[in-house]
A and B are shown apart, each in its own frame.
Chain A
Amino acid sequence: MTKVSMTVNGKAVSGEVEGRTLLSSFLREGLGMTGTHIGCDTSQCGACVVHVDGKPVKSCTVFAADVAGASVKTIEGMANADGSLSVIQQAFQDHHGLQCGFCTPGMVMSSAALLAENPKPTEAEVRHYLDGNICRCTGYHNLVKAVMAASGQDVSALAAE
């Protein structure tokens, strides 16, 4: 076991981890922050996406020890300071961009990363960026719509073609 320290959602944290402890496990079991979800074993589903030093990362693919000293942001840190939903979270609610909620933390974190890189993405750019996040409930329609709405685009007339 080794001691690892990092910043999570602006707070300094530390804990004992094994070499094989994944960042996702450290967040969920070590820190009790269960908003980050684990949906697969192969770094495919994206439910576990968090930001490490501002970049989206699948936390099931990273050892906790490897991000020692880094600044980590999770879904628990996405709301506004007063607790209200941030623009992207609010867009997900407004446009019914989630159903069971399980993929949602990763979707929100990936979408936030997209909008940080590309403030006005096209539909195709949103779909391409979210390729690493699987949702089984929404058929992606309202998810894509929510991300475009969060970017300030008018989504009222969006349909096929």
Chain B
Amino acid sequence: MPKDHGIGASTKRREDIRFLTGRGVYTDDMALHGQTAAVFVRSTVAHGRIKSINQAKAAAMPGVLAIFTGEDFKDVGGNPAGWLINSRDGTPMREPKRPVLAHGKVRHVGDAYAAVIAETVAQAKDAAEQLAEDSVIEELPAIVNMKAAVADASNRVHDEIPDNLCFDWGWIEDNRAAVDAAMKAAPHKVTLELVNNRLVPNAMEPRASIGEYNPGTGDYKLTTTSQNPHLTRLLVAAFVLGIPENKLQVVAPDVGGGFGSKIYHYGEEALVLAAAKKLGRPVRWTAERSESFLTDAHGRDHVTKIELGCTKDGEILAIRTETLANVGAYLSNFSTATPTFLHGTLMSGPYKVPHVYVNVKTVFTNTAPVDAYRGAGRPEATYSLERVIDKMCRELGLDPFEVRRKNLLTPDQFPYQSPVGLLYDTGNYQATLDKAMAMADLAGFEKRAAASKAKGKLRGMGLSTWIEACGIAPSNLVGVLGARVGLYDAATVRVNATGNISVMVGAHSHGQGHETVFAQIVADKLGIPDTSVEIVHGDTAKIPFGMGSYGSRSLAVCGTAMDKAVDKIIAKGKKIAAHMLEAAEGDISFADGKFSVAGTDKAKTFGEIAFSAYVPHNYPLETLEPGLEETAFYDPANFTYPAGAYICEVEVDEGTGKVDVVAFHCADDFGNIMNPMIVEGQVHGGVGQGIGQALCEFTTYDENGQLLTGSYMDYPMPRAEDVPFYNVDYSCLTPCTHNPLGVKGCGEAGAIGSPPAVVNAVIDALQRGGHAHVTHIDMPVSPSRVWSAING
């Protein structure tokens, strides 16, 4: 019988009511008294020197209140990278300043070099157009291709960086010689060169920001589309504008999806704050979709050569990769961590591989910044691994299912120290593989393939077995590795006098359903109805300092902080109950919402204890503070390690090259499940995005650095017709061993495990169809690419 409330129940989402009735409040929905509009003047060239900006005509246009250029911000700070990476030779990465508005040079199409503030958006747009006309920008040759950027040192994205390299990272450099030797000695070697295609995150709500300033108090307020308001406050206040943190409130209200792109601080946020101060009026900006395409941090964009050494029967002996990773024109906040510590550390996957070495060179180009996008580094690692393993199976004539089984870690090998630095705590990879194989009905494949053939289609099946690392931590370790922030989270549990509860959390919900799930967890622990618990998030004036939501960390990290704060509430409640019940504290137990004296029928309800804490007439005031409110910070001891096996079936039309995903089976291990309905939804969404990456999404800059895929007319987002229903199972679970809820995180899995399963299925279909020469097609596996591969 499924649970109907508390932990493990598919409780319907409380947030849905406002979203379904048009009562959600997103940033652009807010209208403020005296508001003004900001419009940015953006570079139309990929690379250029700003010669002059003549403001006179634009400034005189109707409604124009102020104009800002890079000159106005040249003395304030830059938007920093959050992670310092050292090159193999020990030198620190090159870290060019990322200004609020471009100054001196523009470095990608869309790079903002001026902003106009006017009474209305229309007036600001008109003036911005004039200002663009009155600006002289000398176009320089664009640096677009990564290999060319590194090869040709004469042309530089940043004048002070001679080779367009940010860093050349080796992981683990000390192991390199041993890996080289193992690779050389391996009986068989497989090599695959592949591209992990550049993606535009495309949260459906475009970025938006509103700046406010109160001259009477000196207080600033930023309302913005952020996944982590405290992090944004820290960056704007301490690094960019130099505003005291206590004088800046950052609010991230309802946020329409993030997928990574709203983790980062962007210059528009600093601009609206500076402009609000100058004008003494609210200043608001909302991106048009074309601005989102041009300026939201993009994802992926790796070019990788992976080599795999193995025995003739498919035992993996060594893996070596060389990757060029695009960081675009500037370093976005997590851009240096994504291709390194979120990528290289995953390169042994769920397998026992003795020797692994990863080399990543990150390259500046005249394109939009590239940063973490759903999965962030882990999809790139998984794709490389799962594609090369499939290629190995084909070269050696081995069964891809059995080869994976042979190489997977076994349950008795945990905890497992990987050769690339991670300590996997627990897992059962055979179980998820078996489950996925059962779900996919392998025995029935030939029959299905025959049915496809009868329709004129080739059918193929693809597998990926994957692992990820979520809830990046602990702070003292990541600090040694170059992180410039801590990676804990925090929660405050405030029991109100009448016994209901407000929980203020550092995590931010922008689709994940925290308001429902977090309330389920607190209510379950306290034995009270879910509806008595309210989750408060997204406002630095209300919540404790937490790091927000990304990297599937909300539940494992913030959820644990919340769990610990509830423990403190129960501990204090026991002291209060002991006093009220005239018993020893050690004799008080708490269960089902009641504090009871062991061995008696004496008890106080949670509500009675709460009331007593706030109306402390019968209360141990001499030894205990009144009130019932506790905060906990939690810094995880380790990452969590979700894992699973995904099987995809496709039909390929040989005549057109069109690929249809006709079945998708997911067997996931997310640890304990708090709300199955929401977990399934997260997997669906991730797989949908993964299928999008595999089949249709691509981001193309031409040789001049012009974005050719800058709208939904050109960038193929997956639509309802492009995807099937998905089969999702999460029953083969191994609870995480180092957090009290036993949870691992489920937000990114779908986007990590699915792209290689799709591409492996396409190659399988083509191989079965007699196109033996097709051993790889780069993503997106579009009709033209498939057709060309077949006929090439």
Most buried by A among B19, B25, B206, B727: B19
Q: How far is the CA of A133 from the CA of B61 in the complex (A)?
A: 38
CB distance B711 to A98 under 8 Å? no
Is A51 among interface residues, defined by CB-CB distance under 8 A?
no
How many chain-A residues does the 8 Å CB contact rule pick out? 61
Is A59 among interface residues, defined by CB-CB distance under 8 A?
no
CB distance B686 to A136 under 8 Å? no
CB distance B511 to A101 under 8 Å? yes
Partner of A100, one of B256, B718, B721: B256
Chain A residues with CB under 8 A of B726: 139, 141, 159-160
CB distance A89 to B257 under 8 Å? no
Most buried by A among B18, B686, B726, B750: B726
CB distance B712 to A99 under 8 Å? no
CB distance B289 to A101 under 8 Å? no
CB distance A131 to B720 under 8 Å? yes
Is B247 among interface residues, defined by CB-CB distance under 8 A?
no
Interface string of A95-110 (1 = CB under 8 A from B): 0101111111100100
Partner of A143, one of B662, B664, B720: B720
Is A5 among interface residues, defined by CB-CB distance under 8 A?
no
CB distance B13 to A35 under 8 Å? no
Task: Return the chain B residue nearest A25 by Cβ.
Answer: B121
Is B385 among interface residues, defined by CB-CB distance under 8 A?
no
Q: How far is the CA of A101 from the CA of B511 in the complex (A)?
A: 7
CB distance B22 to A105 under 8 Å? yes
Chain B residues with CB under 8 A of A41: 288-290, 711
- Which A137-161 residues sit within 8 Å CB-CB of chain B? 137-145, 158-161
For the residues of A in contact with B, the DSSP-based class is loop
A8 smallest CB distance to B (angstroms): 12
Chain A residues with CB under 8 A of B723: 139-141
Partner of B725, one of A18, A28, A158: A158
Is A92 among interface residues, defined by CB-CB distance under 8 A?
yes
- Which B548-572 residues sit within 8 Å CB-CB of chain A? none
Task: Return the chain A residue nearest B714 by Cβ.
Answer: A42
Interface string of A107-129 (1 = CB under 8 A from B): 01000000000000001001110
CB distance B717 to A137 under 8 Å? no
Chain A residues with CB under 8 A of B719: 127, 130-131, 134, 140
Chain A residues with CB under 8 A of B12: 93-94, 96
CB distance A89 to B203 under 8 Å? no
- Which A52-79 residues sit within 8 Å CB-CB of chain B? 74-76, 78-79
A93 and B22 in contact, given A137-B257, A159-B727, A160-B663 (Cβ under 8 angstroms): no
Is B397 among interface residues, defined by CB-CB distance under 8 A?
no
Chain B residues with CB under 8 A of A135: 204, 720
Q: How far is the CA of A100 from the CA of B510 in the complex (A)?
A: 5
Q: How far is the CA of A29 from the CA of B32 in the complex (A)?
A: 11
Chain B residues with CB under 8 A of A161: 662-663, 724
Is A7 among interface residues, defined by CB-CB distance under 8 A?
no
CB distance B720 to A127 under 8 Å? yes
CB distance B16 to A131 under 8 Å? no
Is A44 among interface residues, defined by CB-CB distance under 8 A?
yes
CB distance A47 to B204 under 8 Å? yes
A141 and B725 in contact, given A101-B511, A127-B720 (Cβ under 8 angstroms): yes
Q: How far is the CA of A131 from the CA of B689 in the complex (A)?
A: 16
Interface stretch of the complex, out of B68-76, B423-431, B675-683? B675-683
A56 smallest CB distance to B (angstroms): 15
Task: Return the chain A residue nearest B719 by Cβ.
Answer: A131
CB distance A45 to B289 under 8 Å? yes
Is A14 among interface residues, defined by CB-CB distance under 8 A?
no
Task: Return the chain A residue nearest B750 by Cβ.
Answer: A139
CB distance A74 to B513 under 8 Å? no
Is B787 among interface residues, defined by CB-CB distance under 8 A?
no
A160 and B204 in contact, given A93-B13, A101-B15, A137-B511 (Cβ under 8 angstroms): no
Is B17 among interface residues, defined by CB-CB distance under 8 A?
yes
Chain A residues with CB under 8 A of B665: 160
Chain B residues with CB under 8 A of A101: 15-16, 18-20, 24, 254, 256, 511
Q: How far is the CA of A139 from the CA of B719 in the complex (A)?
A: 8
Chain B residues with CB under 8 A of A108: 20
Partner of B204, one of A76, A103, A144: A103
CB distance A42 to B712 under 8 Å? yes
CB distance A130 to B720 under 8 Å? yes
Q: How far is the CA of A161 from the CA of B686 in the complex (A)?
A: 20
Is B438 among interface residues, defined by CB-CB distance under 8 A?
no
A92 and B663 in contact, given A39-B204, A100-B255, A139-B689 (Cβ under 8 angstroms): no
Is A32 among interface residues, defined by CB-CB distance under 8 A?
yes
A99 and B24 in contact, given A40-B712, A47-B204, A136-B717 (Cβ under 8 angstroms): no
CB distance A39 to B720 under 8 Å? no
Partner of A39, one of B19, B29, B205: B205
CB distance A100 to B511 under 8 Å? yes
CB distance A100 to B725 under 8 Å? no
Q: How far is the CA of A39 from the CA of B287 in the complex (A)?
A: 9
A75 and B688 in contact, given A44-B711, A45-B289, A100-B257 (Cβ under 8 angstroms): no
Most buried by A among B26, B718, B724: B724
Chain A residues with CB under 8 A of B289: 39-42, 45
Chain A residues with CB under 8 A of B25: 34
Is B772 among interface residues, defined by CB-CB distance under 8 A?
no
CB distance A78 to B750 under 8 Å? no
CB distance A159 to B725 under 8 Å? yes
Partner of A37, one of B26, B31, B691: B26
Is A20 among interface residues, defined by CB-CB distance under 8 A?
yes
Chain B residues with CB under 8 A of A18: 122
CB distance B20 to A104 under 8 Å? yes
A75 and B663 in contact, given A39-B205, A99-B681, A143-B720 (Cβ under 8 angstroms): no
B697 smallest CB distance to A (angstroms): 11
Interface string of B648-688 (1 = CB under 8 A from A): 00000000000000111100000000000110110011111
Partner of A139, one of B15, B122, B204, B686: B686
CB distance A137 to B685 under 8 Å? yes
Q: How far is the CA of A114 from the CA of B22 in the complex (A)?
A: 20
Partner of A42, one of B254, B256, B711: B711
Chain A residues with CB under 8 A of B21: 35, 75-76, 78-79, 85, 89
Is A6 among interface residues, defined by CB-CB distance under 8 A?
no
CB distance B13 to A45 under 8 Å? no
B314 smallest CB distance to A (angstroms): 29
Partner of B26, one of A79, A102, A144: A102
B132 smallest CB distance to A (angstroms): 18
CB distance A100 to B203 under 8 Å? yes
CB distance B23 to A99 under 8 Å? no
Q: How far is the CA of A74 from the CA of B712 in the complex (A)?
A: 24
CB distance B20 to A160 under 8 Å? no
Q: Given contacts A92-B16, A93-B17, A96-B677, list 16 more A-B pairs with CB under 8 A.
A: A28-B29, A38-B28, A40-B289, A42-B712, A93-B16, A96-B681, A100-B254, A127-B719, A131-B721, A133-B720, A135-B204, A136-B257, A138-B681, A138-B684, A144-B725, A160-B663
- Cross-chain pairs A/B with CB under 8 angstroms, 15 sampled: A34-B25, A35-B21, A37-B26, A41-B288, A92-B20, A93-B16, A100-B511, A102-B203, A102-B204, A102-B257, A103-B204, A104-B20, A136-B202, A136-B257, A138-B685
The 5 closest A-B pairs by CB, nearest first: A35-B22, A139-B688, A102-B256, A101-B19, A100-B511
